[in-house]
Amino acid sequence: MNYYTPATVDEALAVLHKYDGRARVVGGGTDLLVETRRGLRRPFDAVVDATRIGGLREITESGGYIVIGCGVTHSEIVNDPRIRARGTCLAESCGVIGGPQVRNVGTLAGNVAHALPAGDGTIGLLALGGDVQISGSDGTRWMPARDTFKGPGRSHIDRQRELLTRLRFRPTGDNEGSAFHRVMRPQGLCLPIISMAARIRLGDDGKIEGAGIGMGPVGPIPWFAEPVADALVGAPPVQEHFEHAVGVALENVQLRESKYRATREYREAMIRTWLPVILATATERAGASR
């Protein structure tokens, strides 16, 4: 196996081209390499480490967005004061991935590209309405993160030929706040029972003016919960409406029982319990940012 640490996007794409499907892009490699070692993935001939590409190792602000390069680790996101303040649910969601050592090398780009239905960082980014930038031989394009998911672990990004180079979101402004929560079990399964994130914007009348919700696992892909957001907009941010939003969420999700992780019923109970809590927290933060 060959290991490449390209310094430019073009170099990275050239390696992918050269290996024609037999190379894999990694950020930290903490999912892909471990799974490959366990025999859960087909072996490959080359690794393209996307964390040393010039210009893609930092968090910047540009054009009204916070932009995160594909080399940025979860820890760097968690510790970034801008994201903590104005993309709180993303910092919170990246802060629970794996353990500290894994967060020190794992990247948000890897989390989103991996396309797991309950990727925590992904859920946080969805609630913020984030986009991803994809670079391929025919150029670079931005698309909403929510449109990249195809199925569990399957992405519309052609990961053998393209590179997820950047992520971005519009930071929360005045009257806006966000929050994330995840339910786990202490036993041997390191996957979330449910992860949820919310972004709330309050209008001058105190009612919810805008909302973004991310949830998973509630179906084959991480869910950008538009119906839930729609149900919240225009309503006052009170428990009664939060419970209505829970009802809308439950009508739209396909909750499953997953072996040794959670029953369908438990997942539903956790949505009923925690969705109102994170909505209330996001609202409170929105109020505090006035």
Partner 1 sequence: MSRLQMTVNGATVDIDVPESRYLSEVLREDLRLTGTKVGCAEAECGICTVLVDGTPVVSCVFPAFKAAGSAVETIEGLSQDGGLHALQQAFLDHGAVQCGICTPGLIMTAKGLLDRSKATGDAVTEQDVRAALKDSYCRCTGYQSVINAILQASGQDVRPYLPETQHPGIAVGRAMPNPNALAKITGSARFTDDYSFPGMLYARTRRAGIPHARIRSIDTEAARALEGVRAVLTHADIPGRNAHGVVSIDWPVLCGNKVRYVGDAVAIVAADSERIAAEAIELIDIDYEELPAVTDAISALQANAPQVHDERPDGNLLKHIKVKKGDIEGGFAEADVIVDQTYRTPTTEHLFLEPECSIGVPAGYDPADFGGMRDECAVRGETAKHDKTTIYVGSQIPYTDRDQAAATLNVNPEQVRVVATLMGGGFGGKEDIAGQIHAALLAEATDRPVKMLYSRQESLLVHPKRHATVIRMRTGATSDGRLTAVQATLYGDGGAYASLSEKVLTRATTHATGPYAIPNVKVDCFATYTNNVPCGAFRGFGVTQSCFAVESNMDILAGKLDIDAIELRRMNALEIGSETSTGQVMRESVGLRECIDKVEREIRDERFRWRWDEGHRRFAWGLAVGYKNTGLGGGAPDKATAEVEAWQDPDRGLVAEVRISSAEMGQGLPGVLAACAAEELGIERDKVRVLLGDTDFCPDGGPTTASRQSYVSGNAVRLAAREAAEKLSVQAPRESVKVQYEYWAPQTRPLGTGGDMHVAFSFCAQAALCEIDMRTGEVAVHKVIAAHDVGRALNPLTLEGQIEGGIVMGVGYALTEHYIQEEGTPWTNVMARYKTPSITHAPRIVSHIIEDGTSSGPFGAKGVGELPSIPTSPAITNAIYRATGVRVRSLPVDQDELLRAINSGAAEVELAWGDRDAIPTIQLGGEH
Residue 43 CB, nearest approach to partner 1 (Å): 10
CB of 181 vs partner 1, minimal distance in Å = 11
Q: Which is nearer to partner 1, 98 or 220 (CB)?
A: 98
In the complex, the smallest distance separating the C-beta of residue 162 from partner 1, rounded to whole angstroms, is: 22
> Which conformational region is residue 187 in: left (phi greater than 0), alpha (psi within -120 to 50 degrees), or beta?
beta
Q: Answer yes or no: are the C-beta atoms of 184 and 115 closer than 8 Å.
A: no
How many angstroms separate the CA atoms of 239 and 247, rounded?
A: 12
CA distance 149 to 114: 9
Contacting residues toward partner 1, per CB under 8 A: 1-3, 5, 26, 29-30, 33-34, 37-38, 47, 49, 51, 75, 98-102, 104-105, 183, 185-190, 260, 262-263, 265-266, 269-270, 273
Q: How far is the CB of 201 from partner 1 (least distance, A)?
A: 27
Q: Which is nearer to partner 1, 103 or 201 (CB)?
A: 103
| Placement of tokens 């480490």 in the chain | 49
Pairing, β 46-49 against β 23-26: parallel
| Closer residue to partner 1 (CB): 253 or 262 | 262
Q: Is the sign of the CA dihedral 244, 245, 248, 254 positive or negative? A: negative
Cβ nearer to partner 1, comparing 47 with 221: 47
